[in-house]
C-alpha cells in the first residue's frame, strides 16, 4: 500500500512533546520552589499533590503518541487518544475544583497560569483526540 501524507504531523508531534515537557517542568517547579502554586491553603496543596501520577500518565501518552506519529506507526492513534482523554479529564477536575473553591476569584500570577493550563487541557485534549482519529487510517498505511 502507498504511504499517505499525514497532515500536520510535525506540528502535532511538537505540540505533544511540548505538553509532555511542560508537564514535567510544572511538577519540578511545584515541588522545588512552589512558584506555580496558586494558593497556600492546605486543601489546595492536598488536591494538587494528588495530580502527579495522573499528569505523568498524560506526559507518557503524549511522548508515546509523538514518537509513534513521528515514526508513522498505527499505535500512535491509541496513545494520542489516551493523551487527549487524559488532558480533558485533568482539565475538568481542575476547573471543577477551582470553581467550587472560588479559586478563579484571585487572579494572581500563578492563578492566571492555572487558567491557561485549564484552557489548554480543554482545548488540547479534544483537538488531539480528533486529530488522531482523523489520521488513523493514514497511520495504518505507513508500513
Looking at residue 43, its pLDDT comes to 86
Looking at residue 143, its pLDDT comes to 63
Cα 112 from chain centroid (whole Å): 17
The tens place of each residue's pLDDT in the chain, 143 residues long, gives 456 789 999 999 999 999 999 999 999 999 999 888 878 888 889 988 999 999 999 999 999 999 999 999 999 999 999 999 999 999 999 999 999 999 888 888 888 988 999 999 999 999 999 999 999 999 987 76
CB within 8 A of 106, min separation 6: which ones? 38, 39
Instruction: Give pTM, 2 decimals.
Output: 0.91
Which stretches within the chain are classed as H helix?
9-32, 42-48, 52-71, 76-100, 109-140
So where are the chain's domains?
9-140
Looking at residue 23, its pLDDT comes to 95
Amino acid at each position: 500500500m502507498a504511504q499517505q501524507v499525514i497532515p500536520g504531523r510535525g506540528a502535532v508531534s511538537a505540540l505533544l512533546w511540548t505538553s509532555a515537557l511542560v508537564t514535567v517542568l510544572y511538577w519540578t517547579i511545584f515541588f522545588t520552589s512552589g512558584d506555580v502554586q496558586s494558593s497556600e491553603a492546605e486543601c489546595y496543596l492536598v488536591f494538587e499533590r494528588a495530580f502527579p501520577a495522573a499528569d505523568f500518565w498524560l506526559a507518557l501518552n503524549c511522548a508515546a503518541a509523538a514518537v509513534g506519529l513521528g515514526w508513522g506507526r498505527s499505535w500512535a492513534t491509541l496513545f494520542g487518544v489516551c493523551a487527549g482523554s487524559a488532558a480533558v479529564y485533568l482539565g475538568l477536575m481542575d476547573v471543577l475544583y477551582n470553581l467550587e473553591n472560588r479559586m478563579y476569584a484571585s487572579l494572581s500570577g500563578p492563578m492566571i497560569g492555572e487558567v491557561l493550563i485549564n484552557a489548554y487541557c480543554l482545548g488540547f485534549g479534544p483537538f488531539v483526540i480528533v486529530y488522531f482519529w482523523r489520521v488513523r487510517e493514514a497511520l495504518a498505511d505507513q508500513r
